[in-house]
Every structure is written in structure tokens, then in C-alpha cells.
């Protein structure tokens, strides 16, 4: 989850680009959100996701573990 998801919620259909936490392109009749609004929305999305009691199957947990291991190896965190 990230900026794309937050922007879709804040300004659905807007055309935009962002670089270094600054909007470099804004093509929409509505006002451009601030970067603070974007990050506040991301925090709300994360809080909502964390509040859901998701139950995974054993196979899903195993696959997620493999993906996490691959990520750690790629980042050199092992």
C-alpha cells in the first residue's frame, strides 16, 4: 500500500506525478492534496487493515514465509 492507493481514495481519477514527496504534475479540477494528507490517508488505510482479523491457510502462511525469506535475502537481512 502506498501513495497510489491513497491518491485513488483522495482524488479518484486525477492525473498526477510525485517525486521526492512533491507533486510534479497535477491535472485535475480539484485541489491537489498535501503530502501530509496523503500520508495521513496511508496511515488510516494501514490502521484499517490492521484492525481486520484475517485468517490465512497453512499454505498461504507458508507461501508468505517464502516470500518474506526471499525479500530478506534480497535485502541482505539474513
C-alpha distances out from residue 76 to 4, 62, 65, 67, Å: 27, 21, 16, 14
CA distances from 50 to 47, 71, 73 (A): 5, 21, 26
The CA-atom distances, in angstroms, between 5 and each of 14, 31, 43, 74 are 12, 18, 11, 25
pTM: 0.70
Pairing of strands 15-19, 22-27: antiparallel
**Overall number of domains in the chain:** 1
| Range of the structural domain that residue 14 is part of | 3-75
Residue-wise pLDDT tens digits, 18-76:
999 999 999 999 999 999 999 999 999 999 999 999 888 888 888 888 777 776 777 77
Amino acid at each position: 500500500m502506498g501513495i497510489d492507493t491513497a491518491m485513488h481514495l483522495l482524488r479518484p481519477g486525477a492525473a498526477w506525478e510525485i517525486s521526492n514527496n512533491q507533486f510534479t504534475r497535477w491535472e485535475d479540477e480539484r485541489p491537489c492534496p498535501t503530502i501530509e494528507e496523503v500520508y495521513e490517508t496511508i496511515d488510516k488505510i494501514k490502521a484499517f487493515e490492521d484492525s481486520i482479523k484475517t485468517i490465512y491457510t497453512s499454505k498461504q502462511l507458508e507461501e508468505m514465509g517464502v516470500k518474506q525469506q526471499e525479500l530478506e535475502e534480497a535485502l541482505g537481512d539474513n
